[in-house]
Amino acid sequence: MKKLILVLLFLGTFSLQAQNIVRYDLYVRDTLVNFSGKERHAIAVNGQIPMPTLTFTEGDIAEIYVHNELDEETSLHWHGLFLPNKEDGVPYLTQMPIPPHTVHKYTFPIIQHGTHWYHSHFGLQEQIGMYGSMILNKRTDDKTFRKGIDDLPTIPIILSEWTDIKPENVHRMLHNASDWFAIKKGTTQSYGEAIKTGYFKIKLHNEWKRMLAMDVSDVYYEKFLINGKSENEDTSLKGLKAGDKVRLRISNGGASSYFWLTYAGGKITVVANDGNDLEPVDVDRMLIAVSETYDVVVTIPADDTAFEFLATSEDRIKSASIYLGTGIKQLTSPLPKLKYFEGMEMMNGMMKMNGDLDQMGMNMSMQQMDMNVVMYPEITGPAANGKGMKMDKDDEEHSGHKMEQMNGMKMSEDMYKSNELSDITTLNYAMLKSPTVTTLPEDAPIKELHFTLTGNMSRYVWSLDNKVISETDKILIKKGEKVRITMYNNSMMRHPMHLHGHDFRLLNGEGEYAPLKNVVDIMPMETDVIEFEANVEGDWFFHCHILYHMMSGMGRVFSYENQEPNPLIPNPALALRKLKGDDRAFHLMAENDFATNGNDGQLMIQSTRWSIGTEWRLGYNDMHGYETETHIGRYIGKMQWLMPFVGFDWRYRKLGHNEFEENLFGQKNTKDNRSLVSLGVAYTLPMLVVAQAEIFTDGNVRLQFERNDIPLTQRLRMNLMWNTDKEYMAGLRYIATRNLGVTTHYDSDMGFGIGAMLNY
């Protein structure tokens, strides 16, 4: 009898646990939002942005029904979760996208705890509202339950950003190296500004090294948001008193923004990262990378006061706030503006002529050395800017070089160690330590992988080992292997690299207690090593989580050898083609100058490697003539400075009777009526001058030098061109709006003109 009861009891608890199904219904709909004063299209789930916070407890079974009421496809990815591959939500990789007006059910057991989040992995939907918090609570009987942390009142926080420009257009503009975002941010770093602030030589040096204006982020955002708002009063926790502690579960759901986190009420205690517990560590501030999560504990220091928790975008243009506690609001100081020209000087120093980064013998890793500190006034002193410049010039020189002298050598690691340069403690990866041993099985075979993160800002190509997703095969790994990945960032931007379906150990010097993460942010010139145990079959995405980098092809797929086919991918070949389609896309650029002396314009479509472009000059009469040049070329090399091309020229003009033009090489040409094919090569020289050599089917040769878009002031650009056909052109363009400019130019064929430039 006793035995029977025992057995029954056992069954009872078992079934109880099995039945703990938590169901969510998510209705995905198009919506109109107004974040910035302008109505824009966005996507809301259950009528809200961000998507609702999903809460589970470890041991639950999640059942999530996605009702796709959009007119386009979608899919949801559960960021940082361990789950069967077919529930991972990567379209064309782990499932086919959810068709419009259908329902898809995701279901998986919750086998971990921690702060995570979820977002659309389809196209650019993440940018326009499809992100939300996902909180997996610890069971109260969990051995790792931490009193004083896991039982604190909790606020889920999801950070994000809003742009009024459609994300597809943002992506296109980035690929066309549009400087509209820089204009909006005030970070053009033009020659005018450089001269005014005494950085002319540095600007010259910068362009000599073929770099465009530098920035820490690519996109201008109208608003930054905490839980969908710029200003939040926390209403979920009532009656907070002095001394009370609050746990914030923060996820960065921004598509491309890193955020500085600061708090008006004192220190921030970091207790978990990417859903994994950490030994608590106190900091003054921290930078949360795109798609990372951090759990922090803050103290309410006083009664009747609400303390500001501030999230500032990395470029420090704007911020979002949430106030903890009730009463009068205690603000925290905004972060001072970046010193961009100092940053430019730093970039000049680390950039080699061939476009590689020069580590100068420094071993950079784990965010401990931050080259960007040269731009932080709060660490390296205020900018010597504008009018004050003259007076402070000596002083600035002094302090700028003082540091070099202090350390005896030209450059030194200590120059960039933020925490040693000031009393402000900034979190870095070396400070993360797991409270439990995280070592992987010792006897497991090791698979070593090396990646160099590569990129090219001017063409917005982001890749691993200079190959985008569509140019590579899936990387095969075996179940039971220990996969160790060494990554070196040879690009000028930082990249938050995210691995699906697994946590990895970040080898940060903590030995057995290395922290577990699923996103590692790698700064320029840093080398980081991660390792994980291959324990769940499937095709797992590994990619940079900056949305526009990912869509440009910065990633790889890890695939387990000899695995079962995924039932949700009925046609793997088609799916693979679709997956690779993202970074194979061509981006359109078009402009036409409606000038008094004719129409000048070009149309270009470009992909990662190919460029198809047509330029035209259409006069208003036969004398001026009409001509077009079409080039189909392929970019070569990592920096893509070299482009061989095939050209097609067509020209019609009436110069008069038997008039010939002679080029510099003595070759003659009527130029009046010709249609020719050519072979040529274009190469970007220092100072961003494009040199182009071309040989035509009639034997004529042409050399041309062209420099476009020299930034004279914030909005004024200059174009210069000269070639061996004795043609030349000089022009100015004032950028009035995103699509409109006012131009004036002089052209050897068509003379002087002023016009209006429309560009797309």
**Which CB atom, from 6 or from 331, has the smaller least distance to another protein?**
331
Write the CB contacts of 351 (distance below 8 Å, at least 6 apart in sequence).
209, 211, 357, 358, 492
Q: What is the DSSP string of 139-174?
A: PTT-TT--TTTTTS-EEEEEEEEE-SS-HHHHHHHH
- 302 is a contact residue toward another protein (CB under 8 A): yes
Round to whole Å and give the CA distance between 301 and 7.
53
Residue 379 or residue 569: which is nearer to another protein going by CB? 379
Dihedral sign of CA atoms 300, 302, 303, 309 in order? negative
Cα separation, 403 vs 411, whole angstroms: 9
Least distance in angstroms from the C-beta of 242 to another protein:
6
Quick check: 424 binds another protein (CB under 8 A)?
A: yes
Q: Which is nearer to another protein, 422 or 563 (CB)?
A: 422
423 lines the binding site for another protein (CB under 8 A): yes
In the bound complex, what is the minimum distance in angstroms from residue 436's beta carbon to another protein? 33
Which CB, 303 or 397, lies closer to another protein? 303
Candidates 84-92, 422-430, 471-479, 722-730: pick the segment binding another protein (CB under 8 A): 422-430
Q: Which of residues 560-619 bind another protein (CB under 8 A)?
A: none
Q: Residues 195, 242, 685, 687: which binds another protein (CB under 8 A)?
A: 242
CB atoms within 10 A of CB 513: 18
Write down the least CB distance from residue 34 to another protein, Å: 12
Cα dihedral sign, 461-462-464-470: negative
Which residue's CB is nearer to another protein, number 34 or number 236?
34
User: Considering only residues 248-287, where is the footprint of another protein by CB under 8 A?
Assistant: 264-266, 284
Query: Which of residues 331 and 476 has its CB atom nearest to another protein in the complex?
Result: 331
Within 285-442, residue ranges assigned H as helices are 340-350, 377-380, 388-406, 418-421
At residue 266, φ and ψ (nearest 5 deg) are 115, -150
Residue 573: CB atoms within 10 A of its CB come to: 8
- Answer for which of 392, 526, 582, 649 binds another protein (CB under 8 A) is 392
Is there binding between residue 331 and another protein (CB under 8 A)?
yes
| Candidate list 63, 69, 244, 378; residue touching another protein; CB under 8 A | 378
Which residue lies nearer to another protein by CB, 283 or 721?
A: 283
Residues of span 31-60 touching another protein by CB under 8 A: 37
Q: Measured between alpha carbons, how far is 635 from 645 in angstroms, rounded to an integer?
A: 9
Binding mask 334-373 for another protein (x = CB under 8 A): x-x-------------------------------------
Residue 325 CB, shortest distance to another protein, in Å, is: 11
391 is a contact residue toward another protein (CB under 8 A)? yes
Q: Judged by CB under 8 A, which of 53, 94, 133, 305 binds another protein?
A: 305
Measured from the CB atom, is 188 or 418 closer to another protein?
418
Q: By C-alpha distance, which of 312, 282, 276 is closest to 295? A: 276
Asked if residues 192 and 712 have their Cβ atoms less than 8 Å apart, the reply is yes
Q: Does 231 bind another protein (CB under 8 A)?
A: yes
Work out the number of other CB atoms within 10 angstroms of the CB of residue 246: 22
For residue 430, give every residue at least 6 positions away whose Cβ sits within 8 Å of its Cβ, in sequence order, or none.
Answer: 365, 366, 367, 368, 508, 509
Is residue 328 part of the contact set for another protein (CB under 8 A)?
yes
330 binds another protein (CB under 8 A): yes
The residues that bridge with 466 in the sheet, in sequence order, are: none
* Smallest distance from another protein to CB 333, Å: 4
Span of 39-47, 381-389, 440-448, 641-649 interacting with another protein by CB under 8 A: 381-389
Starting at the earlier edge strand, list the strands of the sheet with 223-226: 223-226, 154-162, 245-252, 293-299, 268-273, 276-283
Which of residues 382, 511, 572, 751 is near another protein by CB under 8 A?
Answer: 382
C-beta of 382: minimal distance to another protein in Å? Answer: 4
Q: How far is CA 8 from the centre of its chain?
A: 55
Tell which residue, 87, 92, 84, 174, has the closest CA to residue 127. Answer: 174
Q: Which residue among 59, 153, 349, 381 contacts another protein (CB under 8 A)?
A: 381
Cβ nearer to another protein, comparing 52 with 301: 301
The verdict on 301 binding another protein (CB under 8 A) reads yes
Q: Does 400 bind another protein (CB under 8 A)?
A: no
Q: Tokens for 383, please give them.
A: 């900018």
Residue pointed to by tokens 């201008």 = 220
Beta-carbon count within 10 A of 111 CB: 12
Does residue number 422 form part of the binding site for another protein (CB under 8 A)? yes
**Which spans of this chain sit near another protein (rule: CB under 8 A)?**
37, 231, 242, 264-266, 284, 301-303, 305, 328-334, 336, 377-379, 381-382, 387-388, 391-392, 422-424
